[in-house]
Structure 1
Amino acid sequence: MTTHNGKRALVLGGSVGGLTTGLLLREQGFDVTIFERTSTELGNRGGGIVLQPDTLRWFRERSSISPEEVSTSTQFLRYLGDGNEIVFEEKAEWQYSSWSVMYNSLLADFGRESYVLGEYAVGFDQDVDGVDVRFVSGRNERADLVVFADGITSVGRRRLYPEADLSYSGYIGWRGTVLESDVSAATAELLGSSLTYSVGPNTHICMYPIPGPDNGFEVGKRLLNYVWYRNVAEGPELDEILTDKRGFIGSVSVHPGQVQDRYITEMKTAAKELLAPAAAELVNLTAEPYIQPVLDVRSPRMVEGRVVLIGDAAFAARPHAAAAAAKAAADAWALAEALGENESITTALAKWEPGRLQLGNNLIDRVTSMGARSQFQNTWTPGDPELRFGLYGPGE
């Protein structure tokens, strides 16, 4: 295996994908620094993550932290009818984590010495030997390899491929979590052991348990996490619902505590009319639901010289395949493998890129079809194997 001792790599974006990339590049011999634009660590974010094999691979193969220490699991796929009756059920084991648990665990492995907070990369130039990155603070850093893992609003993507703009799907995702101990016993029984859906006209909700506060992995101490998809027309209607209590439009999210009260009231009332009672109970018990407009992004390329885009920075796909975290991790593992097989960084990147582009485009094609079936065509059929989670294909 080729190593890159003496070479420097910058990872711009210190989230789950950026940390995985940093850990794997360090294994290849790079001197790695991760720059995160926020001024505080990100470990207090509580949204759910479905753990596909690529997402857990670091903990299976490298970390002293075991997969069981970062995940909870369910044993069934379940669809609920209008009266909470189970209209479809099959054995299907899935593992889940919270964003904060994954972040904190990966950061513990990477360490904080080369994890720099409060530095926003704003531009870069490169030559045949390296890349010079400029930061808002006035800082400048040079490296042999630069990886943008800075998410759906990626500076790297906007700089390299400004035509690759955010595309709105026509619907938003209401998100929230509720302590498992706060729901009724009947609801806890229905939702605690399964990946659960409730489907209505032009809408559906997906629910599953994730680790709770203070590493609550035991039944009763977990959080029940959900994403509820609702159609909102692009234009003034969307701008209004994405305007937070301060008057700012959240182009990619309206954070907990910032959603206008009138929309929360309407959302909770609608849940009782549109969703199975267990799902409606979960929504109505949410203290601070938040909103994410469902967006797609496709990049025409993922490599320019010594600069790389990975994860959502390159391809951001709707959540229906639960593959965003898995794709970022898979991109990072494939990048490390290519660098391990090639002494030349640019040669490695050229070999890495085609397969990642194909995977990203295939994923977006699939989730676009899934979203159309649920939100517009009303052909989301309980139990259809084409609707299963998976990065590489349904159930894969």
Structure 2
Amino acid sequence: MDTYQGLRAAVVGGSIGGLTGALLLRELGFTVDVYERTPTLLENRGGGIVLQPTTMKWFGERSARRIEELSTVTRHVRHLGGDNEVVHDDAVEWRYSSWSTIYRALLDDFGTDHYHLGEFCAGFDQDADGVTLRFVSGRTETADLVVFADGITSTARRRLFPDLVRHYSGYVGWRGTVPEGEVSEETRRLLGEALTYSVAPGTHIVLYPIPGPDGEIEEGRRLLNYVWYRNVPDGPRLHELTTDLRGFECPVSVHPGQVQQRFVDEMRSAAAAQLAPAAAEAVIRTRQPYMQVVFDTRIPAMADGRVAVIGDAAFAARPHAAAGTAKAADDAWTLYEHLRASDGDIPTALKHWEPAQLRLGNQLIDRVARMGHRSQVEGTWTPGDPDLRFGLYGPGV
């Protein structure tokens, strides 16, 4: 396409959503630069990703990499009882990858010549002709289009809507991975062939296999990944729990190796008491568990002139629908489609793109809030309930 030849696009945030957007904008003819705040490549960040269709679309339609070489697969959704007995089993196929595996593949496709590390965007201005970005390094850049994909602490969110607040869910997600080779044969069998749940009063855990540290997908070389939801009241108890080993409070997440040991010890003891033995073994054997504060974040607008806000920078949804990366990818693909269909009028294309994405984000957060309330408050998270299935657009889709 040549509609956007000679125009510049800047993407603020070089994670999975930002890279997907950058690749698609480049296909439209833009000269695209990505600005990532961290000083080094984003390796070994986060854990597993459930690969929904929108997340896989780039690899199915554009990339030389095949999703099969980047992912693991299970063909059952399974609930375990207190003695590892299977209390429910559905024949449902899901694919998974790791954050690092998908990030590396997207960055390989984009390249590093226009991928700028250590550039934190602190502010911006715009007029009818373009957007000016200001970075803490002293750098300034101008672009015809700016896409903010800079996550839940987004500069665009803070500048456009300074009074917006995150809404804490009442619980945190303990996360981690353990190599398959470091758990018992029974645990490896139960967790390696299914998306697995263990449910107890006021808590639940979900586990699945993901590629190993270097992208290994062979059985026995993969990682078992989990998210375990535990209720923590807001206030002093949460603040203490989210204070890391440096003494800094971390309102979003406490990274691997930074969780206070006393909380890790308590978490492991609770796993043995509350979870199915296979799930408990995965938790207990994790060397460096980490913790995510679970909250809902909404935004009233995703387009402002020549600025678009996508992914977690716009809507940060609880993980229950496994739709965070899928929502970011959907934002990027639909933005691409609206820009492609326009006559080069960027502000108009963004305004036409925005309404459906706002509806989707609000619907997703409404749904995951209901899912979380059922498991953590009501105690009505029942095995096999179709309303509890993963999906960006709805349960199972």
Q: Which TM-score tier does this pair reach, normalised by the shorter chain?
A: over 0.9
Checking the alignment, whether the CA contact within 8 Å between 1:2 and 1:341 is kept in structure 2 is no
Checking the alignment, whether the CA contact within 8 Å between 1:2 and 1:340 is kept in structure 2 is no
- 1:365 matched to 2:332: no
Gaps of 5+ in 2: none
Q: How does 1:213-292 map to 2 (within 5 A)?
A: 213-292=213-292
Q: Which residue of 2 aligns with 1:298?
A: 298
User: 1:167, CA displacement in angstroms?
Assistant: 1.3
User: 1:256, CA displacement in angstroms?
Assistant: 0.5
Q: Which residue of 2 aligns with 1:123?
A: 123
Q: Which residue of 2 aligns with 1:395?
A: 396
Describe the SS at the equivalent of 1:92.
Answer: coil
Checking the alignment, whether the CA contact within 8 Å between 1:242 and 1:249 is kept in structure 2 is yes
Checking the alignment, whether the CA contact within 8 Å between 1:170 and 1:294 is kept in structure 2 is yes
Q: How does 1:191-202 map to 2 (within 5 A)?
A: 191-202=191-202
User: 1:3, CA displacement in angstroms?
Assistant: 2.5
User: 1:215, CA displacement in angstroms?
Assistant: 1.9
Q: How does 1:340-379 map to 2 (within 5 A)?
A: 340-343=340-343, 344-379=345-380
Checking the alignment, whether the CA contact within 8 Å between 1:2 and 1:342 is kept in structure 2 is no
* Whole-angstrom distance in 1 between the partners of 2:174 and 2:44: 19
Checking the alignment, whether the CA contact within 8 Å between 1:252 and 1:292 is kept in structure 2 is yes
* Whole-angstrom distance in 2 between the partners of 1:310 and 1:251: 21
User: 1:2, CA displacement in angstroms?
Assistant: 6.8
* Whole-angstrom distance in 1 between the partners of 2:206 and 2:215: 23
Aligned residues: 396
* Whole-angstrom distance in 2 between the partners of 1:236 and 1:46: 26
* Whole-angstrom distance in 1 between the partners of 2:47 and 2:120: 24
* Whole-angstrom distance in 2 between the partners of 1:267 and 1:59: 38
Distance 1:197 1:347, change over 3 A: same
Gaps of 5+ in 1: none
User: 1:162, CA displacement in angstroms?
Assistant: 1.7
Q: Which residue of 2 aligns with 1:21?
A: 21
Q: Which residue of 1 aligns with 2:160?
A: 160
Q: How does 1:135-146 map to 2 (within 5 A)?
A: 135-146=135-146
User: 1:67, CA displacement in angstroms?
Assistant: 0.7
Checking the alignment, whether the CA contact within 8 Å between 2:11 and 2:35 is kept in structure 1 is yes
User: 1:377, CA displacement in angstroms?
Assistant: 0.5
* Whole-angstrom distance in 1 between the partners of 2:160 and 2:176: 34
* Whole-angstrom distance in 1 between the partners of 2:2 and 2:207: 44
Q: How does 1:49-198 map to 2 (within 5 A)?
A: 49-198=49-198
Superposed CA RMSD: 0.8
Q: Residue type of the partner of 2:129?
A: D
User: 1:295, CA displacement in angstroms?
Assistant: 1.3
* Whole-angstrom distance in 1 between the partners of 2:322 and 2:210: 14
Task: Give the TM-score, by structure 2 length.
Answer: 0.99
* Whole-angstrom distance in 1 between the partners of 2:46 and 2:353: 32
Describe the SS at the equivalent of 1:152.
Answer: helix
* Whole-angstrom distance in 1 between the partners of 2:309 and 2:338: 15
Task: Give the TM-score, by structure 1 length.
Answer: 0.99
Runs of 4 or more consecutive aligned structure 1 residues displaced over 6 Å after TM superposition: none
Percent identity at matched positions? 64
Checking the alignment, whether the CA contact within 8 Å between 2:44 and 2:213 is kept in structure 1 is no
Checking the alignment, whether the CA contact within 8 Å between 1:164 and 1:300 is kept in structure 2 is no
* Whole-angstrom distance in 2 between the partners of 1:141 and 1:341: 27
Q: Which residue of 2 aligns with 1:317?
A: 317
Q: Residue type of the partner of 1:359?
A: L
Q: Which residue of 2 aligns with 1:382?
A: 383
With 271-280 and 155-164 compared, the bigger mean Cα shift is at 155-164
- 1:43 matched to 2:52: no
